[in-house]
């Protein structure tokens, strides 16, 4: 979590678009009633694929970001 309350979550491996949508429904839109069809993830904005450090034998992973302005520090469900 950064100072503005925005978050990122990472998963080992490269997630499919459907898997990214499943995460985003709950993680990025906790206060909204969104369906999978309402979500259209954009690479570099909503998520990105990262390469692990080969010298450390770290696996590749997917990072998913919350929308700009969503403050998890003050979020009340």
The domain limits of the chain are 8-65
Among 22-26, 33-37, 47-51, where is mean pLDDT lowest? 33-37
pTM, whole model, 2 decimals? 0.81
Rounded to an integer, the average pLDDT of 37-60 is 89
Give the tens place of pLDDT for each residue, 29-45.
Answer: 777 788 889 999 999 99
Q: What is the mean pLDDT of the chain?
A: 87
**Computed over its alpha carbons, how large is the radius of gyration of the chain?**
13
CB-CB neighbours of 24 under 10 Å: 22
**Secondary structure letter of residue 26 according to DSSP:** H
The whole-angstrom separation of Cα 1 and Cα 5 is 6
Q: Dihedral of CA 16/50/13/3: which sign?
A: negative
């Amino acid at each position: 979590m950064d100072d503005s309350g925005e978050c990122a979550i990472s998963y080992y491996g490269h997630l499919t678009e459907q898997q990214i949508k499943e995460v985003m429904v709950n993680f990025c839109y906790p206060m909204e009633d969104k369906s999978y069809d309402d979500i259209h993830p954009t690479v570099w904005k909503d998520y990105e694929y990262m390469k692990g450090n080969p010298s450390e034998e770290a696996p590749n992973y997917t990072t998913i970001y919350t929308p700009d302005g969503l403050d998890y520090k003050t979020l009340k469900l």
